[in-house]
Amino acid sequence: MKEALRLMGLFKPAWPWVLLGIFLALITILANVSLMALSGWFIAAMAIAGAAGASMNYFTPAGAIRGLSIARTAGRYFERLVTHAATFRMLARLRHWFYLKLEPLAPAGLQGYHSGDLLNRISSDIDKLENLYLRILTPFTVAFLSSAVFAAFLAWLNPLYAIIVVTLLAIAGIAIPLLAERLGRQPGEEIAQLTRSLRTVVVDGVQGMAELEVYGQTEQQKHKIEQLSLRLLACQRKLANYAGLVQAATGLCANLTMWLLLLAAIPEVNRGELPPAQLSMLALFALAAFESILPLPLAMQTWGETKTAAQRLFAIADTPPPIAEPEAPKAIPTTLDIHFDEVWLTYPGAQNPALKGVTLDIPQGSSLGIVGATGSGKSSLTNLLLRFYEPDRGQVMLGGIALPALHTEALRAQLAVVPQRAHLFNTSIEQNLLLANPEASQAQIEQACRLACIHDFIIAQPEGYLTEVGETGVKVSGGQARRIAIARALLKNAPILILDEPAEGLDAATEQAVIDNLLQAAKDKTVVLITHRPAGLEQLDQIVVMHQGKITERGTHTQLLATAPIYQALFNRFSEIPSTLPS
Are residues 398 and 480 located together in one domain of the fold?
Answer: yes
Are residues 93 and 45 located together in one domain of the fold?
Answer: yes
Is the pLDDT assigned to residue 165 strictly greater than 60?
A: yes
- Burial class of residue 216 in the structure, from the number of CB atoms within 10 Å of its CB (0-12 exposed, 13-18 middle, 19+ buried): exposed
Is the pLDDT assigned to residue 362 strictly greater than 90?
A: yes
Question: What's the sign of the alpha-carbon dihedral 137, 140, 143, 149?
Answer: negative
Model pLDDT, residue 447: 92
Asked, for residue 300, whether it belongs to a domain, the answer is yes
Q: What is the pTM of this model?
A: 0.68
Model pLDDT, residue 575: 40
The most confident of the ranges 101-115, 152-166, 197-211 is: 152-166
**Where does a domain end: 317, 352, 370?**
317
Asked, for residue 159, whether it belongs to a domain, the answer is yes
User: Is the CB of residue 332 less than 8 Å from the CB of residue 406?
Assistant: yes
Are residues 379 and 288 located together in one domain of the fold?
Answer: no
Model pLDDT, residue 348: 81
Percentage of the chain surpassing pLDDT 70?
96
For residue 57, the domain's CATH number is 1.20.1560.10
Is the pLDDT assigned to residue 578 strictly greater than 60?
A: no
Asked, for residue 581, whether it belongs to a domain, the answer is no
Are residues 418 and 451 located together in one domain of the fold?
Answer: yes
What is the rounded CA–CA span in Å between residue 20 and residue 6?
Answer: 21
Asked, for residue 281, whether it belongs to a domain, the answer is yes
- Burial class of residue 417 in the structure, from the number of CB atoms within 10 Å of its CB (0-12 exposed, 13-18 middle, 19+ buried): buried
Model pLDDT, residue 576: 44
Residue closest to 134 by CA, chosen among 174, 87, 79: 87
How many beta carbons lie within 10 A of that of residue 126, not counting itself?
21
What is the rounded CA–CA span in Å between residue 531 and residue 535?
Answer: 9
Lowest mean pLDDT among 84-88, 166-170, 315-319, 343-347: 315-319
Asked, for residue 582, whether it belongs to a domain, the answer is no
Is the pLDDT assigned to residue 377 strictly greater than 60?
A: yes
516-525 tens-digit pLDDT: 888 888 888 9
Are residues 343 and 312 located together in one domain of the fold?
Answer: no
Lowest mean pLDDT among 103-117, 169-183, 216-230, 424-438: 103-117
Is the pLDDT assigned to residue 170 strictly greater than 60?
A: yes
For residue 361, the domain's CATH number is 3.40.50.300
Model pLDDT, residue 445: 92
Are residues 135 and 79 located together in one domain of the fold?
Answer: yes
CA distances for 402 relative to 209, 340, 361, angstroms: 45, 10, 14
User: Is the CB of residue 540 less than 8 Å from the CB of residue 369?
Assistant: yes
What is the domain extent for residue 108? Answer: 2-317
Mean pLDDT along residues 241-263: 89
Mean pLDDT along residues 209-224: 84
Are residues 351 and 310 located together in one domain of the fold?
Answer: no
Is the pLDDT assigned to residue 83 strictly greater than 80?
A: yes
CA distances for 119 relative to 14, 167, 199, 212, angstroms: 25, 45, 8, 22
Mean pLDDT along residues 323-350: 89
Is the pLDDT assigned to residue 385 strictly greater than 50?
A: yes
Look over the chain and give the mean of its residue pLDDT values, rounded to a whole number: 86
Model pLDDT, residue 1: 67
How many domains, in total, are found in the chain?
2
Model pLDDT, residue 583: 30
User: Is the CB of residue 381 less than 8 Å from the CB of residue 355?
Assistant: yes
Asked, for residue 580, whether it belongs to a domain, the answer is no
**Where does a domain end: 262, 283, 317?**
317
Q: What is the DSSP string of 112-180?
A: TS-HHHHHHIIIIIHHHTHHIIIIIIHHHHHHHHHHHHHHHHHHHH-HHHHHHHHHHHHIIIIIHHHHH
Are residues 277 and 358 located together in one domain of the fold?
Answer: no
Model pLDDT, residue 577: 39
Are residues 465 and 547 located together in one domain of the fold?
Answer: yes
| Confidence band for 298, pLDDT divided at 50, 70 and 90 | confident
Asked, for residue 333, whether it belongs to a domain, the answer is no
Residue 369 DSSP SS3: strand
Are residues 267 and 168 located together in one domain of the fold?
Answer: yes
Are residues 485 and 411 located together in one domain of the fold?
Answer: yes
Are residues 306 and 351 located together in one domain of the fold?
Answer: no
Which tops the pLDDT comparison, 121 or 486? 486
Asked, for residue 324, whether it belongs to a domain, the answer is no
Which tops the pLDDT comparison, 117 or 576? 117
| Confidence band for 581, pLDDT divided at 50, 70 and 90 | very low
What is the rounded CA–CA span in Å between residue 300 and residue 246?
Answer: 11
Give the total residue count for the chain: 583
